[in-house]
A and B are shown apart, each in its own frame.
Chain A
Amino acid sequence: MECKAFDEQLVRRDPEVADLMDRFVSVRLIQANAMDLGLFQFDYDLTFAVFFVNADKTIYGRFGSRSSQKDAAKEISIEGFRKAMQAALELHQNYPANKAALAGKKAPEPRFKVPEEYPSLRGKYRPTLDYEGKVVQSCMHCHQVRDAERELYRTQGKAIPDEVLYPWPMPDVIGLAFDPKEKAKVKAVTSGSSAQKDGFIVGDEILTLQGQPILSIADVQWVLHNTNGPAKLKADVLRGGQRLSLNLTLAEGWRRQSDIAWRPTSWDLRRMATGGLLLKEFPAADRRKAGLSDTDLALMVEHVGQYGDHAAGKRAGFQKNDVIVSVDGQTGRMTESQLFGYLLQKKMPGAKVSVGVLRGEQRVNLELPMQ
């Protein structure tokens, strides 16, 4: 299912959820213009997200997760949405007695109250859409908020921090996969992962994380998103009808295992870091033919940008099917997402980075400009 289809189910009040929707005030917002960034903190790479909110703007929960470009709706289902709604209604019934447990669902006041206050967006958008004129051009996309945040670090010559580069980590980063038809029920635990070592097993349902009631996978992501560095998160888990307490260990550098290549905002990271090159893993069989081991860096250029700043790689001499085997002296295996991290945290705009590529049988050395 696509996000569009899921969204349409809600708009036309699908019979599977209509009875519960009647117990909410349903609001649809279709613009990032003038969006209250103190309230609406979510994964800005999504094109569909839901908040369950009290009239006083206390957040009960979030819904909406995504982990790939092709299958946009594999982390969501109408069944899971119904369960999230039921849980939100329970929280509403017990409000305000539960107010303290909900406090962590809202972040501290952000630096900018609305997107238009970011320097790269300032003066470009009005608070309302121009329905009578150029409505498309007047509408700010949510992903522009993330782009603007990263651009701010870049223009100031500062390293983009992990939490801004790798936002809203999916729980698979720590070895957990959840059933989209449930709120936050474990459907798989990766062998050897920190979650497995912490004692999580298939069927566990996370009720609270760091004391926050969990209504959805997005709520788990919210807690992960707001945890920097190594940490032990406290989870209340339901297992076979029994409640138990488990830790969820986040090791040093845990966030950098995230795959951000699918995200729309990675398009701008490619401009900054690789001059518009789209990089993919070099297939295992081709690695062996080229004499590269599994631990060697080998990223193949799948696409070379053709215009403006996205053609910086092209102008530097990169070609489609080149295989990058060294970057700034680094030859260890990296994903495209990890390469973004390396370059955007260590190399500032204006720097040139030496890159070694395999082009057929030849080894070619090029200089990649940072932007």
Chain B
Amino acid sequence: MKIIAVTLAHLLVAAFAVSAAEDRREKVLKDRTEVQSIPQWIYNDLSKGVAEATRSGKPMLIVLRCIP
């Protein structure tokens, strides 16, 4: 009985983890699609940002975002 309960608990945790990962996957992909559609943003490419800042003479505003 105890083994069944522990197994069920582990399965529940695993199912939750898979669901959370799926949720985050959607968020990460959505973030890329949305931000890349806005021309003023350079997405996930610091070198490109540095090159553009050098060319334009503007400073960089770098947002670090860890998508939870």
A interface bracket (residues with beta carbon within 8 Å of B): 35 or more
A52 within 8 A of B: yes
Choose, from A7-15, A204-212, A233-241, A326-334, the stretch at the interface.
A7-15
Q: In the complex the two chains form, what is the Cα distance from A169 to B9 in whole Å? A: 38
Which A19-60 residues have C-beta < 8 A from chain B?
21-32, 36, 40, 42, 46-55, 57, 60
Query: Smallest CB-CB separation from A307: which chain B residue?
Result: B13
Cβ of A143: which chain B residues have Cβ within 8 Å of it? 66
Q: With A27-B49, A131-B29 in contact, is A12–B61 under 8 Å at CB?
A: no
A63 to chain B, nearest CB (A): 9
Which B26-67 residues have C-beta < 8 A from chain A?
28-29, 31-32, 34-35, 38, 40-46, 48-50, 52-54, 56, 58-67
Are A26 and B44 closer than 8 Å at their CB atoms?
A: no
Are A11 and B49 closer than 8 Å at their CB atoms?
A: no
Query: Smallest CB-CB separation from A34: which chain B residue?
Result: B46
Cβ of B68: which chain A residues have Cβ within 8 Å of it? 4, 47
Are A12 and B60 closer than 8 Å at their CB atoms?
A: no
Choose, from A85-93, A174-182, A185-193, A348-356, the stretch at the interface.
A85-93
Cβ of A364: which chain B residues have Cβ within 8 Å of it? none
Q: In the complex the two chains form, what is the Cα distance from A366 to B61 in whole Å? A: 52
A248 to chain B, nearest CB (A): 28
Are B32 and A131 closer than 8 Å at their CB atoms?
A: yes
Which A317-351 residues have C-beta < 8 A from chain B?
none
Are A27 and B63 closer than 8 Å at their CB atoms?
A: yes
Pick the contact of A85: B9, B41, B61 (CB < 8 A).
B61
Q: In the complex the two chains form, what is the Cα distance from A131 to B64 in whole Å? A: 18
Q: In the complex the two chains form, what is the Cα distance from A188 to B21 in whole Å? A: 42
Q: In the complex the two chains form, what is the Cα distance from A255 to B64 in whole Å? A: 26
Q: With A26-B40, A30-B44 in contact, is A51–B65 under 8 Å at CB?
A: no
A141 within 8 A of B: yes
Cβ of A129: which chain B residues have Cβ within 8 Å of it? 28, 44
Cβ of A7: which chain B residues have Cβ within 8 Å of it? 63, 65
Q: With A11-B38, A30-B66, A136-B24 in contact, is A25–B60 under 8 Å at CB?
A: yes
Are B62 and A12 closer than 8 Å at their CB atoms?
A: no
Pick the contact of B44: A12, A31, A36, A88 (CB < 8 A).
A31
Pick the contact of A54: B24, B35, B41, B59 (CB < 8 A).
B59
Q: In the complex the two chains form, what is the Cα distance from A83 to B28 in whole Å? A: 30
Q: In the complex the two chains form, what is the Cα distance from A50 to B64 in whole Å? A: 6
Cβ of A42: which chain B residues have Cβ within 8 Å of it? 64
Q: With A135-B29, A136-B24, A137-B21 in contact, is A25–B56 under 8 Å at CB?
A: yes
Cβ of B13: which chain A residues have Cβ within 8 Å of it? 307
Q: In the complex the two chains form, what is the Cα distance from A135 to B44 in whole Å? A: 14
Are A28 and B28 closer than 8 Å at their CB atoms?
A: no
A142 within 8 A of B: yes
Cβ of B59: which chain A residues have Cβ within 8 Å of it? 23-25, 52-55, 60, 88-89, 92
Q: In the complex the two chains form, what is the Cα distance from A22 to B31 in whole Å? A: 21
Q: In the complex the two chains form, what is the Cα distance from A7 to B24 in whole Å? A: 16
Residue-wise, chain A 144-184 has the 8 Å CB interface mask toward B (1 for contact) of 00000000000000000000000000000000000000000
Are B42 and A26 closer than 8 Å at their CB atoms?
A: yes
Cβ of A60: which chain B residues have Cβ within 8 Å of it? 59
* 7 A/B residue pairs, CB under 8 Å, sorted by A: A25-B53, A27-B45, A30-B32, A48-B64, A49-B63, A131-B29, A141-B66
8 interchain residue pairs of minimum CB distance: A27-B49, A55-B53, A24-B61, A47-B66, A55-B54, A92-B59, A51-B62, A25-B53
